[in-house]
Structure 1
C-alpha cells in the first residue's frame, strides 16, 4: 500500500513538512491496524513517499509553459497518481494555498485524483487562517473529484506543543486509514441464503394498529 505526502513548505526546516511528517506517521500507525481488523490478515506494509514541491518549482514552471514535465516532476506526478492515499499540506499565503501548491495540481492529469482518499492540511502564523481548509483546499480537491476526509488539520504557530493538535492529527489520520483500507462505517448484513421474506399487506397492518389502539 502506498501513501504519498505532498508538502509545499518553502523553508528548511519547515513547519509544513513537520506537520506532513506527523500526519504520515499517524496514518501509517493506523493503516495496518485497520487493515488487519478488516481482513483478518497479516500486518499491511505501507510505503511512504514524500514529494517536496520546493525542489520541483523550476520544473513545474517549465511544465506550465511547455506542457512537458521534467524527469523529477514526472516521477512525482506518477507517484501521486499511483497512490492509495494522499496527504497534502500547504502553507497559507494571502488566505489561501500557495501558488506552488496550486501549480503542482494544475499540471496533474485531469482524472488522476478521481476517487482517491485525500487528507488536507495547512500551516500558518495565525489561527485566523484556519478556514483555508474549507474555503480553499476542500473545494479544490472536490473539483478534482478526490474523496476528502472529513477532518482537515490546520496548525498555527501557537498550536505546536499545545493541546488539541495531536488529537486532530490522530482523528484525520484514522479517517484516511479507513478509506485506504476500504472500511465502511456501517455495512448492512447480508440476508442468509434461502431466508424467506414475509410481506404483510398494508390493510392487515392498518387493522392491527386499529385493534391495538
Structure 2
C-alpha cells in the first residue's frame, strides 16, 4: 500500500472541545476512505492550544521554539491537511490564523486541504465560504470541494447517522481521492546548495 502523511490542525481552546472532536472524526473517516484506495495514512494531530505561547513568541521574535518548529515541519512535509477552527466573532479564531501566519511562505501551496469549523449555532456556517476558503485560496492550496461545519445541535443523538456524518464521509472521500492520485510531498531545503563549489568557482 502507498504511505502518505496527513496532518490535522485543531485550534479548539477548551479540553475536550467540539473542534477536536470534529477533527478526530474527519481524520478517522479520511483514513478509512484512503485505506479503501490502497493508501495508509500516517496521521499527526497538531493541537494549537498547546502551542499558543510559542506561536505568539514566534510572531514577536521570528524564531520558533522546538515544539512549534516540529509542528511547522510536520505541516511542510504533509501530503494532505485537515484544518479545523472554532468560530469567533463570525470568523476563524485568532490562534488559527496566527499559526498560518508563522508558516514559511509557500508551505501550503499545492497541498490538498479539507476545511472544517465548529460553532454554537448554524448561523455561522458561512464562515467556511466567506473567510476560510478565500484564505486558503490565497495560500494556493488545493481546497477539497466539500467543507464541514458542525454546530452544537449536530452532536445530538442523531449525529451518528445524520447530515453531519454524511458530510464528513463525503469530504473524507474527496480528500482520500486527492491523496491517492498525487505523488508524496517533497520538502525543499531553502539552504541547500543548487550547484557545486566547483561550478561556483568557475563562475567567478
- Normalized against structure 1, the TM-score is what? 0.81
Question: What's the counterpart of residue 146 of structure 1?
Answer: 141
Superposition pairs of residues 5-154 of structure 1, within 5 angstroms: 5-34=8-37, 36=38, 44-154=39-149
> Could you give the per-residue CA deviations for residues 132-176 of structure 1, whole angstroms, max 9, x where no partner exists?
000011011111110000000000001113320000000000000
Matched residue SS, 2:107? coil
- Normalized against structure 2, the TM-score is what? 0.84
Moved more, 160-169 or 128-137: 160-169
**Structure whose CA Rg is larger:** 1
Question: What's the counterpart of residue 168 of structure 2?
Answer: 169
Quote the Cα distance in structure 2 between the aligned partners of 1:33 and 1:159: 27
Q: Tell me by how many angstroms 1:33 deviates.
A: 1.3
Matched residue SS, 1:46? strand
> Could you give the per-residue CA deviations for residues 45-91 of structure 1, whole angstroms, max 9, x where no partner exists?
21100000000000000000000000000000000110011000000
Quote the Cα distance in structure 2 between the aligned partners of 1:135 and 1:123: 15
Q: Where in structure 2 are there 5+ consecutive unaligned residues?
A: 183-204
Moved more, 112-121 or 159-168: 159-168
Equivalent residue for 2:150, pick from 152, 155, 171: 155
The alignment yields a C-alpha RMSD, in angstroms, of 0.9
Question: What's the counterpart of residue 4 of structure 1?
Answer: 7
Quote the Cα distance in structure 2 between the aligned partners of 1:165 and 1:180: 22
Matched residue SS, 1:45? strand
Q: List structure 1 segments (4+ residues) > 6 angstroms apart after TM superposition.
A: none
Quote the Cα distance in structure 2 between the aligned partners of 1:122 and 1:182: 26
Quote the Cα distance in structure 2 between the aligned partners of 1:80 and 1:147: 14
Q: Tell me by how many angstroms 1:32 deviates.
A: 1.8
Quote the Cα distance in structure 2 between the aligned partners of 1:89 and 1:167: 18
Equivalent residue pairs, number? 175
